Amino acid sequence: MNNPVRLAAALGASLVLGWGAAPSSMGAEPAPMRPLPPGQRVSGPGSSDYIHASWSQTVVGAGATACWLFEPADPVPAEAPLVVFMHGWAALDPWLYGAWIEHLLRRGNVVLFPRYQTTLFSNPPGFYTSTVQALRDALRQAGQGDHVKLKPGQVAYVGHSMGAVLSANLAAGAANEGLPPPKALMCVQPGGTRRTPDSIGLDLHDLRTIPTGTLLLSVAGDRDAVVGDVDAVRIYQGAGHLPEADRNLVYFLTDERGSPPLRGNHYAPCSPPCDFCNSPGEPPPGSFPTQLKAALGVALGDYSPLRWLLQTPHGREWMHSRIHCPVYAETFYAPDAMDFDHWRLFDALCETAFTGRNRGQALGNTAAQRGRGSWSDGTRVKELRVITGNVIRLPFSKK
């Protein structure tokens, strides 16, 4: 998408504004049982083999330079790796990525989540400087006092959509900005770069300044109608100085064999459990959250009305009616195999970068990297498409 204003509008519309009557199923014959997708693995990268039962959170700063500091707890570790998690345009509440962030915390990572913008209408050229300031402030607090100490050299950046572009820029500029450079970098469905000097968006930095030794996954979805794969390819090519063995371009392929279907759309990495982080609980007395209030809240950077809406009977009914829309199914519903595979790739990338283990699940176009398990009827889920050498543009997107 050339114009990030359109990208912002698409995000707001897809999250909240697309309400309408769902197709009626009254009087229809019951649908036959369809195969179930694979569940979360019980061991290894991406698995539910958790070592922490809960987490804590601290908000450092305010406005565009605010940053959430999440830390694992029960038990509190003596030290932990650091993950910088960069959200997409207007998805500035960590609740939208709550399941993934919770997974990272319970596996023993400290997570920083910079806000970098205040509303849907914030100006993209300021996002990078806001992020840098937010991270500097949060890092001064992280590891100090009662906070979990950070493991030296064990730093990873992961971002979604515009946050993926920012993650790549941060990796390129970390040394000059006084930030810890990442050992692992995963850019998921990046989008929002400027195509022309007079367009709105982010400029992609010179990625040749990313330190050699950084492991890179640039990830796209075959049904990403919001940003396509243009920036995923640009990031992969822009970091061409990294050894071929240390960087991959990865495509998630849609597989609709069973239910829920696994679709490579732009919101596949989102999965917000309603009880994750600063959840507002019940709305104030006399307040009746509506779709309009939720839409206005999102536009102004406040997701509380949307969280209230989705915790009410009429909100849940509205949410469930949207199962007919792939975007809604991937945005608001419980984590599924699409989420678990994103988690698996990033976990494996971090383990490889930090310890040298699980390289075959993170990189190299191996069967272990591509494989996504099986549907409940035994049919294999469509594998990831992994590119390790020259880019072969796939006809998935028109952006």
The three-point CA angle 58-117-159 to 5° equals: 75
Residue type, 47: S
Closest CA to 66 of 141, 154, 7, 147: 141
pLDDT at 181 over 90: yes
Span 235-241, average pLDDT = 96
Determine the pLDDT at residue 20: 37
pLDDT for 13 beyond 60: no
pLDDT above 80 (res 333):
no
Residue 116: CA count within 13 A, CB half-sphere: 30
Given a contact cutoff of 8 angstroms between Cβ atoms, the answer to whether 100 and 339 are in contact is yes
Summary mean pLDDT of the chain: 85
DSSP 8-state secondary structure symbol assigned to residue 16: I
Query: Rounded distance, CA 182 to CA 86, Å?
Result: 13
Residue 23 pLDDT level (bands cut at 50, 70, 90):
very low
Q: Is the pLDDT of residue 357 over 50?
A: yes
pLDDT band at 52; cut points 50, 70, 90: very high
Q: How far is CA 391 from CA 23, 232, 248, in A?
A: 41, 11, 10
- Whether 346 has a pLDDT exceeding 90, the answer reads yes
What's residue 124's pLDDT?
A: 84
Name the residue with higher pLDDT: 49 or 122.
49
Q: For residue 89, count CB atoms less than 10 angstroms from its CB and return exposed for 0-12, middle for 13-18, buried for 19 or more.
A: buried
Q: Would you say residue 393 has pLDDT above 90?
A: no
User: What's the CA angle centered on 365, arms 212 and 392, to 5 degrees?
Assistant: 85
Q: Is 212 helix (H, G, I), strand (E, B) or coil?
A: coil
The proportion of the chain whose per-residue pLDDT surpasses 70, expressed as a percent, equals 81
Dihedrals phi, psi of 252, to nearest 5 degrees = -85, 125
Give the pLDDT confidence of 73-126 residue by residue, as tens digits: 999 999 999 999 999 998 888 988 999 999 999 999 999 999 999 887 887 889
Alpha carbon dihedral 130, 163, 155, 351, in 10-degree steps, equals 170
Q: Which helix (H) or strand (E) element contains residue 316?
A: helix 313-321
Say yes or no to pLDDT of 271 above 50. Answer: yes
Q: What angle in degrees, to the nearest 10, is found between the helix axes of 127-141 and 162-177?
A: 60
Q: Which residues contact 41 (CB under 8 A, 6 or more apart)?
A: 47, 48, 340, 344, 373
Locate 273 and state its tokens: 């459990």
Q: Which of 58, 112, 121 is nearest to 85 (CA)?
A: 112
Of 58, 74, 85, whose CA–CA distance to 140 is shortest? 58
| SS3 state of residue 249 | strand
Q: How confident is the model at residue 16 (pLDDT cuts 50, 70, 90)?
A: very low
Residues 113/115/120/121 CA torsion (nearest 10 deg): -140
Q: What is the C-alpha to C-alpha distance for residues 308 and 279, in angstroms, rounded to an integer?
A: 9
pLDDT tier for residue 17 given thresholds of 50, 70 and 90: very low
Band of residue 379 on the pLDDT scale cut at 50, 70, 90: very high
CA–CA separation, 283 vs 293, rounded Å? Answer: 12
Cis-peptide, bond into residue 125, ω within 30° of zero: no
Query: Mean pLDDT, to the nearest integer, of 40-55?
Result: 96
When mean pLDDT is compared across 56-60, 332-336, 370-374, the lowest value belongs to: 332-336
> With the C-alpha atoms ordered 176, 237, 94, 106, is the resulting torsion angle positive or negative?
negative
CA–CA distance, 389 with 391 (Å, rounded to integer):
6
**pLDDT value at 380 more than 60:** yes
Whether 393 contacts 248, CB under 8 Å: no
What value does the mean pLDDT take over residues 220-230? 94
Q: How confident is the model at residue 57 (pLDDT cuts 50, 70, 90)?
A: very high
pLDDT mean over 293-314 = 77
d(CA 269, CA 353): 22
DSSP 385: E
Split at pLDDT 50, 70, 90, the class of 328 is low
Q: How far apart are CA 333 and CA 354, in angstroms?
A: 32
pLDDT at 274 over 80: no
Say whether domain 4-11+40-269+335-387 belongs to CATH 3.10.20.600.
Answer: no
**pLDDT of res. 31:** 56
pLDDT at 84: 98
| Both structure tokens of 262 | 């696994």
Does pLDDT of 54 surpass 80? yes
pLDDT at 21: 36
Residue type, 10: A
